Amino acid sequence: MADRSQSYRTRAVILRRRNYSDADRILTVFTPRMGKRMLIAKGSRKTTSRQAGHLELFSHSSLQVAQARTWDIITESVTVESFLQLRNDLDGISRAAYICELVDAFTAEDDDYEPVWELLLICLRELDGALNDAARTDLLLRWFELQMLRLMGFQPELFACLGCGDDLRPVENFLQLQAGGVFCPNCGRTQRGAEPINLATLRILRHLARNRWDSLRDLRIGRTTALAAESVLQRYLVTVLERRLKSTDFIYRLRQVPAERAGEGGSATRTDAGRRVDHRPLDPGSSYSEADQ
Ligand SMILES: [Zn+2]
């Protein structure tokens, strides 16, 4: 039994997990007060493990942890929120994986991340409850990206020109990702690597940047604008993080499926079966998390 004086209790969301030995798993968890941690869940791969059900990917758990030399050891775990709906849905899994990948990419150990913690839980709860609404969950991802960038100090400048400082006017302006935002037409024309950004795209990005999710969840935007906003934020994240995000590929692949179904003259059964087979590695309890290290 672990010495209680050398142990601590924390809330945690399971961001990643991988098999360690025949019986154990290493979990990457995100906590509100201690940042990101790697913990070992001894025996959690055994079918008789009492802990296993409380340590599912993306779940919110309450953990008792004993300090140890390499990885601290999870001695007790209780599920606070299982997010069962999203874990049983491929779109939910792909979106949750993306959100968790961004949290993983932006955070470090031993820091206080209370606002990021709150943001993460808002998003997981919303995904769990709104899975059949792809437009809404896509919008949620864009909102999450902008809020995450703001909390980590990388908020793109969307309101004043990065060159002259004037308020941006409601015209076509210029986006320069390396510079971190938007230039007015006058300044933008001379910026290398600047690209035009239309008014609708800039407006939706501003709207998402400065509002709470409560006031946005029923917002409906056109598909062209949604895709343009997605492209801007994806490329900006790659610029900031200096690497590609793995889980975006899953989202793009899943998006292809309805189109394939339409093209097959309504052969829904076959497509459904194909989709299950195609994406089996994405199952959160199987090889996805392990293979993705
Ligand atoms: Zn300017």
Q: Which residues pair with 11 in a beta bridge?
A: 62
Mean pLDDT for 152-167 is 96
Mean pLDDT for 145-168 is 96
State in Å: Cα 161 to ligand 1 middle. 5
Tens digits of residue pLDDT in 74-113? 999 999 999 999 999 999 999 999 999 999 999 999 889 9
State in Å: Cα 234 to ligand 1 middle. 24
Both 89 and 72 in a single domain? no
- Assigned domain for 52 exists: yes
Ligand 1 (single-atom ion) residues, CB below 5 Å: 161, 163-164, 184, 187
What confidence score (pLDDT) does residue 257 get? 63
Per the rule left: phi > 0, alpha: psi between -120 and 50, beta: everything else, 214 is alpha
Strands 195-197 and 72-81: unpaired
Both 232 and 130 in a single domain? yes
State in Å: Cα 160 to ligand 1 middle. 8
Residue linked to tokens 């690209």: 195
- Assigned domain for 17 exists: yes
State in Å: Cα 169 to ligand 1 middle. 10
What confidence score (pLDDT) does residue 258 get? 57
Both 76 and 208 in a single domain? no
Both 61 and 108 in a single domain? no
Both 8 and 106 in a single domain? no
- Assigned domain for 164 exists: no
- Assigned domain for 71 exists: yes
Task: Among 32, 61, 81, give the residue marking a domain's end.
Answer: 81
What confidence score (pLDDT) does residue 162 get? 97
Tens digits of residue pLDDT in 177-215? 999 999 999 999 999 999 999 999 999 999 999 999 999
Both 30 and 148 in a single domain? no
- Assigned domain for 97 exists: yes
Both 95 and 214 in a single domain? yes
Tens digits of residue pLDDT in 248-272? 777 777 677 655 544 443 333 333 3
- Assigned domain for 183 exists: no
State in Å: Cα 93 to ligand 1 middle. 42
Both 75 and 92 in a single domain? no
State in Å: Cα 204 to ligand 1 middle. 21
Domain span holding position 20: 4-81
What is the total count of domains within the chain? Answer: 2
Both 127 and 219 in a single domain? yes
What confidence score (pLDDT) does residue 4 get? 52
Q: Does the pLDDT of residue 142 top 50, yes or no?
A: yes
- Assigned domain for 178 exists: no
Both 242 and 216 in a single domain? yes
Tens digits of residue pLDDT in 215-238? 998 899 999 999 999 999 999 999
State in Å: Cα 293 to ligand 1 middle. 44
State in Å: Cα 168 to ligand 1 middle. 8
Q: What is the CATH number of the domain that holds 42?
A: 2.40.50.140
Q: Long-range contacts made by residues 87-93, C-beta under 8 angstroms, separation at least 24?
A: 87/56, 87/57, 87/58, 87/59, 87/284, 89/131, 90/254, 90/275, 90/279, 90/282, 91/131, 91/134, 91/137, 91/254, 92/127, 92/128, 92/131, 93/58, 93/250, 93/282, 93/283, 93/284, 93/288
Whether pTM > 0.85 for this model: the answer is: no
